[in-house]
Chain A
Amino acid sequence: MRHISTVIIGAGQAGLAMSKCLSDRSVTHVVIERGEIAHAWISERWDSLRLLTPNWQSRLPGYAYSGDAPDGFMTMPQIADYLRGYAACCAAPVEERTTVTSVTSQGFGYRVETTQGAWQCDNVVLATGACAQAQIPQLANNLPPGVTSMTPMSYKSPAQLDPGGVLVVGASASGTQIAAELRAVGHEVTLAVGSHLRAPRSYRGRDIQWWLDRSGVLDACLDPLDDIDRIRRLPSMQLVGDATLAALDLNTLRARGVQIVGRIAGIREGYAQFSGALANHCALSDLKLNRLLESFDAWAESQTLSGLKPPHRLEPTEVGRDPVLRLRLDDGHIRTVIWATGYRPDFHWLDLPVFNAKGGLDHTFGVVGPGLYVLGMPAQQRRKSAFIDGVGADAEVLANHLIHNRASRVA
């Protein structure tokens, strides 16, 4: 068995950022990666996906985009190249094609079992990400036979689908993008919409991410007085990495012929049932967006900025007078259901009492236990924690905590 100070599990942006922060502090460590660097970006996303954030917004500790398209959006091969470049630039000690099979406590530290042998270490950093598996609601079990079930992790391109109708469940970034892509090649598409965050790609001539970044929304640290659980459950904004499209919101999708229905509420007797609360979900989303745009305007007012276009508001979301409440699934019309109902982390190999009653990993701003850290969870310290651009700041804080904790453990 090999001994080392710190084992980082996962070589995506989070694991590599932590590696850089630990190298800067002369902490010996290894980064264990089940596949290759940026594995999930290459193999667990659909083909047409581009990052939702512009190229300039992929800042990592000691690394930034230096190409000639700062306002562009990286494809999956491009983000993988970018992260490989980061690993090379930091000389990150990555062990690829090594899968962690268990993490247990041993002595004052941890034992990390892998398919390439075991490590004994003082610290473990969980950097396998918040999107390791697709989250599918229980009611998916009631799908009638003959309807194919997919997730944004198994979906690659329209070529995979049988001809015929598609029900896309979930209207965040994944669901809206996949619905638009399938509609564009001629499928009849129904999109089931619950809580969602509407957002234009740009506002007053600037990318929405520019506003979120510059006005300080993304940097905001979590206040213990906030409803942190609620913030961590917020869905992703309805965005697509395409500056030519004003917004991929429900109005856009409706205009392209996507049928908009309420949140899926059940599947029984061959029918999918949809909630009658669609109008309120849309009203909540419009109100939230307008509050966000008001906060941008107020911030812009307080700055000396030139070249901004005048403020404007989006048209209210069109709900229709009588949204459809059910959809027949067992007559061969609907051939595919895509569950774009969120993602969750996968820590099945973590054999430690660190989970809450609902199976979630308990952590305080990324600290799970003595010498045990997690990175890349939604809003773990700041609003931007789960973003490529946000993980670096969290990694710096946790690296400092690790050093301090190590000093106090020795003392």
Chain B
Amino acid sequence: MNTVETKVDNGVNTEALIGARGAFSQMPEAASFVFRSTCDWVSGTESSNTINGYFGLGEEQIRKETFVVNADHPEVFAAADTAPTPPELVLSALGSCLTGGVAAVAQHRGIQLRKVQAIIEGEIDVRGILGMDPDIRNGFNAIRVRFEIDADASESDIRALVAQSQKRSAVFDLLTNPTNVFVDVA
């Protein structure tokens, strides 16, 4: 396996990530993070999520900027189509998580990337969410990701990057394993 070479630059600070591993092994409690998102109804199926503060490294963290992510439904569902659907945001979250992972792993393995594109498709039978057939699930039946990567590496090294990225991805884990979800009303 290649070691970190200075000439490879994918814009990832691997040294900082390796440093964080060292720090968290000394102080595992600092590795407990809580991420948050606040969702406000706008109108119809449109809603707006604001994301800023999170808990990590033992304290509340505030960002310089508050991010806004909106969601809506398309016109074929008689909605205003002002923003992507929530399931599409899930696909984009998976794409971003895997793509960021590819960059981080490539940097660590000394592989220079030139282009990375992932096309993510989720197959869904909408009769599920319409409650038409109890045997049809609401969510995606399957998600398929196709990466196109241009990099200074062999095909098998590129395949290994993509495999390792999945192995260490939060969103990939969330989608492939069950998660307890607790919903309450204040």
Q: Which residues of A are at the interface with B, using a C-beta cutoff of 8 A?
A: 262, 265-266, 268, 273, 275-277, 280, 283-284, 287, 290-291, 322, 357
Contacts and interface: CB of A to CB of B under 8 A. Distances in A.
Contacts of B28: 357
Interface in B50-104: none
A384 to B, nearest CB: 21
A284 B163 CA distance: 6
Nearest to A288: B160
Interface stretch (B8-16, B40-48, B114-122, B172-180): B172-180
A287 B159 contact: yes
Given A265-B177, A290-B156, A322 B167 contact: no
B142 interface: yes
B178 A280 contact: no
A277 B173 CA distance: 8
B123 to A, nearest CB: 10
A393 B46 CA distance: 68
A262 B167 CA distance: 14
Contacts of A266: 177-178
Contacts of A273: 177-178
Given A280-B167, A284-B163, A287-B160, A322 B177 contact: no
Interface in B156-174: 156, 159-160, 163-164, 166-167, 172-173
A275 B28 CA distance: 26
Q: What 3 A-B pairs are tightest by C-beta distance, nearest first?
A: A276-B176, A277-B176, A280-B166
A376 B41 CA distance: 61
Interface in B18-41: 28
A273 B28 CA distance: 29
Nearest to B173: A277
A322 B140 CA distance: 12
A291 B172 CA distance: 25
A51 to B, nearest CB: 31
Contacts of A262: 176
A395 B178 CA distance: 45
A275 B176 contact: yes
A400 B177 CA distance: 49
A289 B12 CA distance: 29
A275 B167 contact: no
Contact of A265 (B159, B166, B178): B178
Contacts of B159: 283, 287
Q: Name the residue among B163, B172, B173 with the largest chain A CB count within 10 angstroms.
A: B163
A280 B166 CA distance: 7
A205 to B, nearest CB: 24
Nearest to A277: B176
A290 B167 CA distance: 18
A319 to B, nearest CB: 12
Interface in B110-147: 141-142
B163 A276 contact: no
B79 to A, nearest CB: 29
A284 B164 CA distance: 8
A268 B156 contact: no
Nearest to A280: B166
Contacts of B166: 277, 280
A262 B142 CA distance: 14
22 contacts: A262-B176, A265-B176, A265-B177, A265-B178, A266-B177, A266-B178, A273-B177, A273-B178, A275-B176, A275-B177, A276-B176, A277-B173, A277-B176, A280-B163, A284-B167, A287-B156, A287-B159, A287-B163, A290-B156, A291-B156, A322-B141, A357-B28
Contacts of B176: 262, 265, 275-277
Given A280-B167, A287-B160, 12 more contacts: A262-B176, A265-B177, A266-B177, A268-B178, A276-B175, A277-B166, A277-B176, A280-B163, A280-B172, A287-B156, A290-B156, A357-B28
Contacts of B175: 276
Q: Name the residue among B142, B160, B176 with the largest chain A CB count within 10 angstroms.
A: B176
A158 B18 CA distance: 48
Q: Name the residue among B141, B166, B175, B178 with the largest chain A CB count within 10 angstroms.
A: B178
B156 A322 contact: no
A277 B159 CA distance: 15
A9 to B, nearest CB: 30
A273 B176 CA distance: 10
A283 B173 CA distance: 16
Contacts of A291: 156
A274 to B, nearest CB: 9
A332 to B, nearest CB: 22
B145 to A, nearest CB: 10
A80 to B, nearest CB: 39
A240 B141 CA distance: 36
Contacts of A287: 156, 159-160, 163
A322 B142 CA distance: 8
B2 to A, nearest CB: 13
A234 to B, nearest CB: 14
A223 to B, nearest CB: 12
Nearest to A321: B142
A222 to B, nearest CB: 15
Contacts of A284: 160, 163-164, 167
Contacts of A275: 176-177
Nearest to A323: B142
Contacts of A280: 163, 166-167, 172
